[in-house]
A and B are shown apart, each in its own frame.
Chain A
Amino acid sequence: MTLLIGSIQLGLLYAIMALGIYITFRILNLPDLTVDGSFSLGMACAAVATISGHPFLALFIAIIAGALAGLATGLLHTKLSIHPILAGILVMTGLYTVNLAIMGGKGNLSVVGSKTVFSMIESMTVAQGGMGKTLLALSICLIAIVILSIAFKTRFGLAIRATGDNEDMVRLSSINANVSKCIALSTGNACVALSGALICQYQMFSDVGSGSGMVIIGLASVIIGETVFGRRSVTIGLISAAFGSILYRIILAFALKIDMFPAYALKLISAVIVIIALSGPSIQAIIQQNKIRREVNSHLDIK
């Protein structure tokens, strides 16, 4: 039970990162690798601000820092015409030093004993068993989804979506595609950094290496969500990304619970579970196709 609740809480907090990745990878259709750096950036900013006694401000600082990181990638890509993947890698690499500098040259910072948003909600609510934490994570995640889905329905939001769909058309309609890209990258990385900040306060430490592999986790969440919900409107897309993140954590929890294999088999087991989860629609499609083929064949036989 502890594992399940813990997994859902983690899933909700990482969901905000999945939203950010959904914005860049799916809406803007741009592979953004800044994420590994901006996640740690969020953690680092949050850790320092939390230790100095500002747990709420910590989250806002993280959002702004993340947005700036995204903007850096956007500018490198649009102004200097650097390939987006390389631009992301460059910013991510540079952020490693920035993150160390923020944490005062230390690779690992503990926030134990400082007030965090989670410790505050725990002390305020009477409910036991981490209910307060789950609700807080859930409400932050919901607020993020609502704000983002409204934002992507505004005129400017539509321009960003159009940029992802067909950049040439957008340019011909005399919309500045570069601005759309920069704003979308900033928004995406702001979400990622917020997620990092929340994870920092939740797990009570910030580690400069924690960001590595986050792109993959986020992308897996987005795609798992899409497998379940299908690719539809932006709002459903955002919800499915968040849902995918929770599902990913539950899958991981499952993999941890399987005792049949040696302990080092964990990564392979979780990969296999994800493959099984993702193969659902394809298998369904194959069955459907075979069914149609058989029907057609039987029709032909009759003739």
Chain B
Amino acid sequence: MKKLVVLLLVFMMGLTTLSGCASKSETANKKVFKIGIVQPMDHPSLNQIRETIISELQAQGMGDKVEIITKNANGDMNLLPSIMQELLNDKVDMIVPIATPAAQAAMASTKTVPIVFSAISNPVAAGLVTSFAETNGNITGVSNSIPIEDIFKLANTITPKAKTFGFVYNSSEINSTSGIAVAKAYCDKNGLKYKEATITATADLQQAASSLVDQVDAFFTPNDNTVASAMAIYVKVATDAKLPIYAGADSMVKDGALATVGIDYTKLGKQTAAMITRIVNGQTIKENHVEQVAEYANMININTANKLGITISDELKKNFVILGQ
């Protein structure tokens, strides 16, 4: 039995080495720039970024020059290092990680292959770069720090009576905790109160949100990937209690949160694609500092507003991107 297993393993190892050879010779013939796009999970905003990057590279006439490999960890963060390793074995010329966990895994895997990240809310807190202007390593990209303060200002316009906010977020997501830190500072400065409920998995969300309903006037959640995966139940708890949710991502508003000052993920994808193009065409990482996404937009879900009995004046409507019609 043991011998059989050993034989089988040897056979399989042989196969993998052979397949490795095959892919190598293929690239040598084509001489294309291999780009590995990695996203940690299936998620509407992340998918939108990925698709925009791909279509934008095509639009810029890079279609023949680059070969794109897309990878998805499907929510299993432990898989990300292996995915990176696989891409490196595949001899990619650039890794494009979307969202913080993917970028951190990419950075840990290579110090030489260029990395251009996308959709990182706080690259400094995530330890990817020391500052926005210093890209001395092999990593740069486009950051989308959420304008948290603007979201609270927007909340004040739509629901001026909301004085106590319930923060619901995953305490293990750095993008959330850094967003929450900004939110707390803003609330403290402006005399708003807040209560927190943290989760570690989608299964905790219902109880966490319910624990706050009778203590708060509105919910606030930054661009939290775990909460975004379970918006349905979050929205149900909030809507049943007639409380609005202010969120940090447009996809969450699409799924039923009331409003956000959000990033247009298409624009984020285009900006990332532009940076990729520059680097493929010969620029260095050092020349490309970390960029902030350039444009923000007010977004509101009109269905949710109706359910909550909130009327939006026509004048206000003009300034909004209306979702959920």
Taking a contact as CB atoms closer than 8 A, the residue among B76, B198, B255 that contacts A110 in the complex is: B255
Taking a contact as CB atoms closer than 8 A, the residue among B195, B210, B232 that contacts A7 in the complex is: B210
Contact with A along B236-269 (1 / 0, CB 8 A): 1100110000000000000110000000000000
Cα separation A150 to B232 with both chains bound (whole Å):
38
Cα separation A209 to B208 with both chains bound (whole Å):
18
Q: Which residue of the partner chain A has the closest CB to B79?
A: A96
A3 touches B213 (CB 8 A): yes
Taking a contact as CB atoms closer than 8 A, the residue among A110, A253, A256, A259 that contacts B232 in the complex is: A110
A263 touches B207 (CB 8 A): no
A210 touches B41 (CB 8 A): no
Question: How many A-B Cβ pairs are below 8 Å?
Answer: 99
Chain B residues with CB below 8 A from A299, complex form:
none
Task: Please name 8 further chain A to chain B contacts, defined as beta carbons within 8 Å, in addition to the given A96-B74, A203-B232, sorted by A numbering.
Answer: A2-B214, A3-B213, A107-B43, A112-B256, A210-B202, A213-B203, A263-B197, A267-B200
20 A-B pairs with CB atoms under 8 Å apart are A2-B241, A6-B237, A7-B207, A10-B207, A106-B42, A107-B75, A110-B232, A111-B232, A112-B232, A203-B205, A203-B206, A203-B230, A203-B232, A203-B233, A205-B202, A205-B230, A209-B229, A212-B201, A256-B197, A256-B207
Q: Which residue of the partner chain B has the closest CB to A203?
A: B233
B76 touches A96 (CB 8 A): yes
* Interface size classification for chain B: 35 or more
Q: Which residue of the partner chain B has the closest CB to A6?
A: B210
**Smallest distance from the beta carbon of B230 to chain A beta carbons, Å?**
6
Q: Is B90 an interface residue (CB 8 A)?
A: no
Chain A residues with CB below 8 A from B208, complex form:
256
Q: Is B171 an interface residue (CB 8 A)?
A: yes
Known contacts A107-B41, A108-B41, A263-B198; is A257 also within 8 Å of B233 by CB? no
Contact with A along B200-226 (1 / 0, CB 8 A): 111111111011011000000000000
Q: Which residue of the partner chain B has the closest CB to A266?
A: B198
Q: Is A172 an interface residue (CB 8 A)?
A: no
A6 touches B43 (CB 8 A): no
User: A-B pairs with the 4 shortest C-beta distances?
Assistant: A263-B196, A204-B232, A256-B211, A107-B42
